Structure 1
Amino acid sequence: MTTLLVSLTLALTLLATPALATGVPQPEGYRLSDYRSPTPDGVTGATTVDTPAVQALVSRGRIIPIFVQRLERSTLPGGPWLQSKPYRQIPGSVWLPNVGVGAPDAATLGWFESNLERLTGGDRARDLLFYCLSDCWLSWNAAKRAVLLGYARVHWYPTGIDGWMEAGLPTEEAHPLPPPAAAAP
């Protein structure tokens, strides 16, 4: 019986212990490739949040969840996003594709900045939540970019929609905002 109690105590302790740090260093700049790979434990200047924290932030209704999954774009002038499959997002999210790529073009950067300005009403202290999929540098890059733009309450959700869905939380179909205007030749 004592062995069973010790085993149960050990098992409960292991379940309650937070995940070990990844040991992945934060790059000085942005991640430029291999976006689906282990990420650092945080983003300098941002708050790293887990699923219960995101749930609490969303339930308060003050945070703006921003989904940053990448999408290809038509090569036609002013072409639309090419969405090959449906995506799910945290309810109430805004999908800004490609704002987390390491070196976005000037039109995408301007589009990101103007959408953050519009979504926050110019309030740089407004809570922003950046997420993508688990092990995805796109959300890390986007959160870092928002911090460097002067947003003071940036939250990064590293397990993203995968962690949200694994917890059995509600989702909605994701629809990307219209793409930025094509850069002038």
Structure 2
Amino acid sequence: MIRLLVLALLLAPAARAETVPEPDTYHGEPYRSPVPATLAGAQVIDVGQAIALQGQAAFLDVLPRPKAKPAGLPEGTIWNEPPHRSIPGAEWLWDTGYEALSPAEEARLRDGLTRAKAGDPDRPVVIFCRSDCWMSWNAARRAVEWGFDPVIWFPGGTDAWEQAGQPLVTVEPVAP
């Protein structure tokens, strides 16, 4: 009986991911929630495949920047944005995975995708943020719709990368 319970618990995350349908449009709040196992037009990879692609593909992190200083800080407190840790070599295209993008956010994503290709139309682009994060799904969907190819979605993101024992490094946000 205990073995069956353990097996059920181990299979639960995979079963949950398969039950999230791919939406017809971009996904909004809550952004940190279960994501589909697929993205039409993109290849979906796991952490082992992401590790194998390092050095061959461009990695684009779309996690948003903190919007404001934390609540409860005394008045006059100087607040510095916390460092952002990401996959080595990744470009941080902050705020580019929302359901709706401002013109500046859209330009940041398009420009980042173009830079990532580095003049090579066949260079793969891996888009990620954190696990169970719709921001990377939204950004990868946009890249596919805009005609970028190949687009690779890494839904495990920095969480899976770190859990696999891979290093994270501090990265700076791409200028607006």
Calculate the TM-score normalised by the size of structure 2. 0.81
Letter in 2 for 1:67: D
- For residues 89-168 of structure 1, the aligned pairs below 5 Å read 89-168=86-165
CA distance 1:83–1:41, shift in 2 (3 Å): farther
Q: Which residue of 2 aligns with 1:33?
A: 29
- For each residue in 1:117-154, what CA deviation from the matched residue of structure 2 results, as whole angstroms up to 9, or x when unmatched? 12213444320001101110000001101111111211
Q: Which residue of 1 aligns with 2:63?
A: 69
SS of residue in 2 equivalent to 1:19: helix
CA distance 1:21–1:126, shift in 2 (3 Å): farther
Cα RMSD (Å): 2.4
2:31 corresponds to 1:20: no
2:173 corresponds to 1:171: no
1: distance between equivalents of 2:153 and 2:174?
Answer: 20
Calculate the TM-score normalised by the size of structure 1. 0.77
The answer to whether the 8 Å contact 1:131/1:156 transfers is yes
Gaps of 5+ in 2: 69-78
Pick the structure with greater CA Rg: 1
Kindly state the Cα deviation for residue 15 of structure 1 after the two structures are TM-superposed: 7.5
User: Aligned to 1:49, which of 31, 45, 48?
Assistant: 45
The answer to whether the 8 Å contact 2:66/2:81 transfers is no
Identical residues among aligned pairs (%): 38
CA distance 1:123–1:148, shift in 2 (3 Å): farther
Letter in 2 for 1:63: A
1: distance between equivalents of 2:15 and 2:52?
Answer: 23
Kindly state the Cα deviation for residue 83 of structure 1 after the two structures are TM-superposed: 6.5
